[in-house]
Structure 1
Amino acid sequence: MTTKRRGMTEEAADAAIDQACRMLRMPTIRNSFTDYADRARREQMSYRGFLAELLLAECDDRARRRSERRIKAAKVPPREVPAGLRLRRQPQHRSRRDPHPRQVRMGPEGTAAVSDRGLRHRQVHLLIALGTEAAMAGYRVKYTLATQLANELVEAADEMTLAKTIARYGRVDLLCIDELGYMQLDRRGAELLFQVLTEREEKASVAIASNESFGGWTKTFTDPRLCAAIVDRLTFGGTILETGTDSYRLAQATKQRTT
Structure 2
Amino acid sequence: MSAAPARPAVTALSDPAADAAITAACTLLSLPTIRTQAGPLADATARERLTHKAYLAEVLSAECDDRDARRRLRRVKEAKFPRPKRLEDFDATAITDLPPARLAHLATGGWIDAGEPLVLLGDSGTGKTHLLIALGTAAAEQGRRVRYVTTAALVNELIEAADDKQLSRAVGRYARLDLLALDEIGYVSLDPRGAELLFQIITEREERASIACASNAMFSEWGATFTDPRLAAAVVDRLTFNAHIINTGTSSYRLRATRAKKGATTT
TM above 0.5: yes
Look up the equivalent residue of 1:200 and give its one-letter code: R
- Of residues 148, 163, 188, the one that matches 1:158 is 163
Matched, 1:55 2:60: yes
Matched, 1:23 2:38: no
Look up the equivalent residue of 2:120 and give its one-letter code: M
Look up the equivalent residue of 1:126 and give its one-letter code: L
3-state SS of paired residue (1:89): coil
Match of 1:88 in 2: 93
- Of residues 105, 110, 117, the one that matches 2:125 is 110
- Please state how far the C-alpha of 1:254 moved relative to its aligned partner: 5.6
CA RMSD of aligned residues (A): 2.6
Q: Within 5 Å, which residues of 2 pair with 1:5-154?
A: 5-6=11-12, 8-80=13-85, 85-91=90-96, 93=98, 100=114, 102-108=116-122, 109-111=124-126, 122-154=127-159
Look up the equivalent residue of 1:184 and give its one-letter code: S
3-state SS of paired residue (1:188): helix
Match of 1:221 in 2: 226
3-state SS of paired residue (1:242): strand
Q: 1:188 to 1:38 in 2, by over 3 A?
A: same
Q: 1:170 to 1:32 in 2, by over 3 A?
A: same
- Percentage of matched positions with identical amino acids: 48
Q: 1:223 to 1:83 in 2, by over 3 A?
A: same
**Alpha-carbon contact 2:178-2:209 (below 8 Å) kept:** yes
Match of 2:242 in 1: 237
TM-score by length of 2: 0.83
**CA distance in 2 between partners of 1:250 and 1:82 (Å):** 18
Look up the equivalent residue of 2:37 and give its one-letter code: S
**CA distance in 2 between partners of 1:249 and 1:110 (Å):** 6
**CA distance in 1 between partners of 2:156 and 2:49 (Å):** 62
Q: 1:254 to 1:139 in 2, by over 3 A?
A: closer
Question: Cα deviations across residues 120-174 of structure 1 (Å, max 9, x unaligned)?
Answer: xx22121112222222222221111100011111112222222221122111111
Q: 1:199 to 1:28 in 2, by over 3 A?
A: same
Question: Cα deviations across residues 75-122 of structure 1 (Å, max 9, x unaligned)?
Answer: 123235599742222335488x998451101122322xxxxxxxxxx2
For structure 2, list consecutive stretches of 5 or more residues without a partner in the other structure.
1-7
**CA distance in 2 between partners of 1:59 and 1:221 (Å):** 47
Matched, 1:195 2:224: no
**Alpha-carbon contact 2:150-2:184 (below 8 Å) kept:** yes
For structure 1, list consecutive stretches of 5 or more residues without a partner in the other structure.
112-121
Equivalenced residues, count:
245
**Alpha-carbon contact 1:101-1:239 (below 8 Å) kept:** no
Bigger helix share: 2
TM-score by length of 1: 0.85
